[in-house]
Amino acid sequence: MTDPLYLERLKQLSTRLVSLQKPIRILDAIKWPQGIEQRFREQQGRELPALGADFYQQQKLGFEPDTVSQLLKELKSDVRRQLGRDDALGKILQATIDQYQIVIELLRYRGTGQFGHFSRQLYGSASDNLRGDRKTLRQMGERLCHIFSLPAVEHLNRPYTNHISSEEAVTILRARMTDYFGAGEVRVQISDDIVSDASAGGDCIKVNRRASFSELDLQVLEVHEGWVHIGTTLNGREQPWATWLSVGSPRITAIQEGMAVLLETLTFSSFPQRARRISDRVVAVDLAEQGADFCQVYRHFIDRGVSEHDSYRVTQRVFRGGTLTGGSVFTKDISYVKGFVENVNFIRSAIQSGVPEVIPMLFVGKVTLDDLPLLYERHLEGVIAAPKYLPPMFKNLNGLYVWFGFSSGMSVMNIARVQQHFSKLFDKMPTPAPQAADTDAEID
């Protein structure tokens, strides 16, 4: 495996893929123009957003689909020929190439009934079962929505106001990225062309000029966009041979977004309103997949007490790129809950199976869980470099081991009986007045 000719071939093929995928930007290709939300809310959410059937066809892609598709086909053939049909790393590379072929088809069919078909191929469906379990993502999403909507949430005070301007947020985040990554490694800049309040791509965090933030929002941005999304990109770029680990096809989305949410949790940066919003996304995808139109999904969340702005945002995320009448929608937003559950189960299983050393490989680049055992094996052989940038709890696994160890041990308890026991104590307590909670920034 360490044959110099093999390694050089691996690097050349990887670099070709990195170059070919560069102009393929899914979110840019399906984003909506500014002003749609205001017009929709002025109509009290009774009329579908004013996006004609030809809207997406007028939005030019940054590449020529037929040309890039053919080049990807040739690259896949070269991977098989130069690395061998049975080469394990070659198979991961081929699977990534296949994903980009499907992405091209997804973008060809923006605004049509076929869009949802290709989205489900890439990201899955809300009706899918969780890995190793009979529960569906929709069931999990509903359960989490219930938990994060319990009366107790209203009694949690969140004393964080959105007093930080976009310019101040950029200054603060630049300093934090320098502390974590070193000087000059990560760019943080103002943006006028993103829909969410902040997003990350490559080695750059973009902050929406129109947004304002709380201190807690910036903590979420630091770990979600910085430690996870940018950290894994830079770790992938550090790879001497497998350079494709620096780019993320949809096959790695669930692990990326799930890990970002997990890091929010482990650093105590998240809060119930944000967790509820992430859980709502699964429900929104399922409703839209089942045929509910934009107005019906929006109204579903309004009726559940979600604000007009947040109801619009969760609905818009699902319908971008698809059909406003439902059925054919963008299913990416199941990735946050799906990835969180699968990452937690992976870490717990790695600990219980006696192989905790594989856990830091989650940050080696843009990966799937199925990739990790092989990548760890190749790491031991010197082909895959260890992740350079690791969150502190993944550098020293002792605390993580104990945290997940206790969690696993307590999972055998009957929570219903435990809750029944303590509820007798709680019934005697006075009921305090609920505390008002602020809304948080929309992070993609």
Helix H, strand E, coil C: the string for the chain is CCCHHHHHHHHHHHHHHHHHHCCCCHHHHHCCCCCHHHHHHHCCCCCCCCCCCCCHHHCCCCCCHHHHHHHHHHHHHHHHHHHCCCCHHHHHHHHHHHHHHHHHHHHHCCCCHHHHHHHHHHHCCCCCECCCCCCEHHHHHHHHHHHCCCHHHHCCCCCCCCCEEHHHHHHHHHHHHHHHHCCCCCEEEEECCCCCCEEEECCEEEEECCCEECHHHHHHHHHHHHHHHHHHHHHHHCCCCCHHHHCCCHHHHHHHHHHHHHHHHHCCCCCHHHHHHHHHHHHHHHHHHCCCCHHHHHHHHHHCCCCHHHHHHHHHHHHCCCCCCCCCCCCHHHHHHHHHHHHHHHHHHHHHCCCHHHHHHHHCCCCCHHHHHHHHHHHHCCCCCCCCCCCHHHHCCHHHHHHHHHHHHHCCCCHHHHHHHHHHHHCCCCCCCCCCCCCCCCEC
Please answer whether residues 385 and 240 qualify as being in contact, where contact means their C-beta atoms are separated by less than 8 angstroms.
yes
Which letter, b or e, does each residue of 198-227 get, where b requires 16 or more Cβ atoms within 10 Å of its Cβ? bbbbebbbbbbeebbbbebbbbbbbbbbbb
pTM of the model: 0.91
Predicted confidence at residue 290, as pLDDT, reads 96
Predicted confidence at residue 427, as pLDDT, reads 81
The span from the first CA to the last CA of the chain, in angstroms, equals 39
| Max CA pair span of the chain | 74
Please write the tens of the pLDDT for every residue from 21-66: 999 999 999 999 888 998 999 898 999 998 877 899 888 899 999 9
Tokens for 236, please give them.
């992938």
Q: Report the alpha-carbon distance of residue 339 to residue 41 in Å, rounded.
A: 32
Query: Which residues share a beta bridge with 164?
Result: 213
Q: Report the alpha-carbon distance of residue 116 to residue 122 in Å, rounded.
A: 10
Residue among 89, 32, 24, 79 nearest 55 (CA): 32
Predicted confidence at residue 207, as pLDDT, reads 93
Task: Please state, as a whole number, how many other Cβ atoms lie within 10 Å of the Cβ of residue 149.
Answer: 18
How far from 97 is each of 69, 72, 135, 138, CA to CA, in Å? 10, 6, 31, 29
Tokens for 271, please give them.
């809060």
Predicted confidence at residue 34, as pLDDT, reads 80
Residues of the chain with pLDDT under 50: none
Predicted confidence at residue 7, as pLDDT, reads 96
